[in-house]
Structure 1
Amino acid sequence: MLRRLVRLGAVALSLLVLAVVVPGSAVKSTEVALVKLDRADGVDVDPNLIWILAVGSDARPGQDMTRTRGDALQLIGMDTRTGAATAIGIPRDSWVPIRGHGYDKINAALFFGGPQLLGEAVGDLVGIQPDYVMVSRFKFFQAMVDDIGGITVRNPVAFSDPNLKPKGFGTGPIRLGGYDAMVYARIRYNLIRGDFDRSANQQRVLRGIQTRVRERAASPGFIDRGVLTAMQHLSTNLSPAELFRLAQAVAHVVPSKITTCVVQGSIGNVGGASVVLPFTAQARSYGDQARKDATIERC
């Protein structure tokens, strides 16, 4: 999954770089936000490890995407020394404590307190607080997939949705355009394991994006066009130097050193709403394994 975010990152983050560095770009973004989080005093942070929480926002037109419920949650780590990277998928309905708000679904943290609070909630669950949170709207994601010419994913189990995709997705390698990639990453109700399978599907889509961008990176003008697109849609509080550091870290990731896992849990009911009761020991195990070198030996 990280691969996917890697090239998507290589484009996305590089774009971010130019969006800030180019004088007079006057970026007014409502599509993608990259936010550096405040860290608690005394926290020992390894400068060689970078953690980014990638979030898909289900914000409606006119809504602030950084203050609505997050839809897709993937915690991505990169080790700039070794090129290793890992992604930890977190079901959006995970029932967890949110600082100052009691227990709620983890995606509600974005609504209550923006990227900062969501990053803290994820940190409390996994044991690793992200350095950055990247939030994007699904429409932007859809347009990006179309712009790179679509992607291919390997789908292990056929599934469908009566509203979003009545004919469904078959098994094996399947080609996805922007709309289908967005739907593939969002469907959960007809999946055998609901939120858990959806999180894994999101990782497959990201991997497909990374593969496609890698294939096209050498095409004349491809990266330039991606940069120009990002410049129109990015909002960030990072300095140009930090953006360059992130872009370099993304480009340094070695595909063979990427690992991915999804936090599991049991299904519960709170106030009539279905929730995921995450296996917190497992989530912490992933964090413990990945904390020093962005590598998870086993899920």
Structure 2
Amino acid sequence: MSTTERPTTRTRRWVRRVTRTTALTAVLATFAVVVPDSTVAPTEVTFVKVERAKGVDLSPDVVWILAIGSDARPWENKIATRADALQMVGINTKTGAATAIGVARDSYVDIPGHGRNRINAAMTFGGPQLQARTMAALIGIEPDYVMVARFEGVEGMVREIGPITVNNPYYFADANLKKEGFQPGKIKLSWYDAMAFSRIRKGLRDGDFGRSANQQRVIRGIHAKIVEKQREPGFIEGGVAAVLKHTHTDASPAELYRIAQAITQVKSNKITTCVIKGSIGQAGAASVVFPDVATARRYGDDARKDATISRC
């Protein structure tokens, strides 16, 4: 079933105003390196290498990218505001395997040097580097790179590669973002629908955990579209050129090209995705998620060297 209906102008303006940064932004950030030059503004994406601790035991064949959707308004610094969505993505450049580990933004964890707080507060304290260290403390994997993006430019990127197809497990809707909702089964998503599918939280059975899982479904859909489009001459090269033009990065063109190639070589039957669940509780006056740390570490131990999780 196709869900490509376009919302009214009034609805689109409302969505831009209330979402600030959508969950889809983090998802797309991971794959932006292979999206051709479209409407992405120069300040929309930051892609930085992580200042790694010495002696970290990681496989040289696996590239880890922490994809973040920054909770930043247009006039705010996106790498100094709260992380709205968090996905730790691993890509095995040798086997074609890939995995994504989703983390609820309200997960209550230890932030190095700043005590306990919601995990998405780490970026306000120390930017992408501290957010990477905080995720590493939870999962046990320190990313090689962090990519941060916000809402602007997302629609242009989805228009460029879309529509995408996702497998939706059950019907859900949102009175503001998608009042007619999304039907279960394989559905096709336009640029707007992809954003709404990834953004909706209140209409889901398991809230933020379900939203993170939907982000991962969109990851699969985007990957499938990228694999389809990679056959076009110059697609990867054009994507790397676009990143260099539109992204603030300290990574070299060679590094970006390696990541782009790795993404296109990922095999759909070797993609695994898991979300770190937890219990809802209170930390003072704040509603938070107490993550299942043992499970988070199991995911990390499972995926660290081969980007594969045996079971969620």
Q: TM-score, normalised by structure 1?
A: 0.87
Q: Which of 159, 168, 181 matches 2:194?
A: 181
User: Within 2, Cα distance between the matches of 1:211 and 1:252?
Assistant: 11
Q: How does 1:160-199 map to 2 (within 5 A)?
A: 160-199=173-212
Residue type of the alignment partner of 1:154: N
Query: What do residues 183-229 of structure 1 show as CA deviations (whole Å, max 9, x unaligned)?
Result: 21111122110111000000011111111222233346755765565
Residue aligned with 2:269, SS: helix
Give the corresponding residue for 2:9.
none
Corresponding position: 1:13 with 2:33: yes
**d(CA) in 2 for partners of 1:272, 1:163:** 28
Report what 2:216 is aligned to.
Answer: 203
Q: Which moves more between the two structures, 212-221 or 257-266?
A: 212-221
Distance (Å, rounded) in 1 between the aligned partners of 2:28 and 2:280: 34
Partner of 1:292: 305
Which residue of 58, 80, 90 corresponds with 2:71? Answer: 58
Q: Distance in 1 between matches of 2:52 and 2:247?
A: 23
The superposition leaves residues 63-115 of structure 1 with CA deviations (integer Å, 9 ceiling, x where unpaired) of 11111111121111122222221111111111111011111111111121111
What are structure 1's unaligned runs of at least 5 residues?
19-26
User: Could you tell me how far 1:266 is from its partner in structure 2?
Assistant: 0.6
What residue identity is the alignment partner of 2:90? Answer: G
Would you say the 8 A contact 1:7–1:251 is kept in 2?
A: no
Shift of 1:289: 0.7
User: Residue 67 and residue 258 in structure 1: after superposition, are their counterparts in 2 closer, same or farther (change >3 A)?
Assistant: same
- Say whether the 8 Å CA contact 2:29–2:148 is kept in structure 1: no
1:238 to 244, 248, 251: 251
Matched ranges for 1:12-161 at <5 A? 12-14=32-34, 29-161=42-174
Measure how far apart 1:9 and its partner are.
5.3
The residue type equivalent to 1:257 in the other structure is K
Q: Distance in 2 between matches of 1:247 and 1:148?
A: 15
The verdict on how the C-alpha distance between 1:62 and 1:192 changes in structure 2, with shifts beyond 3 A counting, is same
Compared CA separation, residues 202 and 28, structure 1 to 2 (3 A):
closer
Higher relative contact order (CA 8 A, sep 6+): 1
Q: Is the Cα contact below 8 Å between 2:44 and 2:247 reproduced in 1?
A: yes
How far the C-alpha of 1:41 sits from its partner, in A, is 2.5
**Mapped contact 1:95–1:104 kept (Cα < 8 A):** yes
Q: What is the aligned residue count?
A: 285
Contact persistence 1:267–1:274 (CA under 8 A): yes
Deviations 1:13-56 (A, max 9, x none): 2569x9xxxxxxxx983111111010112323432221111111
Segments ≥4 residues shifted beyond 3 Å: 5-10, 219-232
Over aligned residues, Cα RMSD in angstroms? 2.5
| Mapped partners of 2:107, 2:201: distance in 1 | 14
Candidates 251, 263, 268, aligned match of 2:281? 268
Output the CA distance in 2 between the equivalents of 1:28 and 1:174: 30
The separation in 1 between residues aligned to 2:94 and 2:28, in whole angstroms, is 18
d(CA) in 1 for partners of 2:275, 2:87 = 9
Query: Identity over aligned residues, as a percent?
Result: 56
**Deviation at residue 127 of structure 1 after TM alignment:** 0.5
State the SS of the aligned residue for 1:75: strand
Separation (CA, whole Å) in 2 of partners of 1:284 and 1:185:
25
Q: Which runs of 5+ in 2 are unaligned?
A: 1-25
Cα distance in 2 for partners of 1:174, 1:186 equals: 16
Measure, in 1, the Cα distance between the counterparts of 2:148 and 2:163.
Answer: 21
Q: Which moved more, 1:80-89 or 1:116-125?
A: 80-89
Go from structure 1 to structure 2 and tell me whether the alpha carbon gap of 1:290 and 1:51 turns closer, same or farther (over 3 Å shift): same
1:131, 1:220 → 2: CA distance? 29
SS in 2 for 1:201: helix
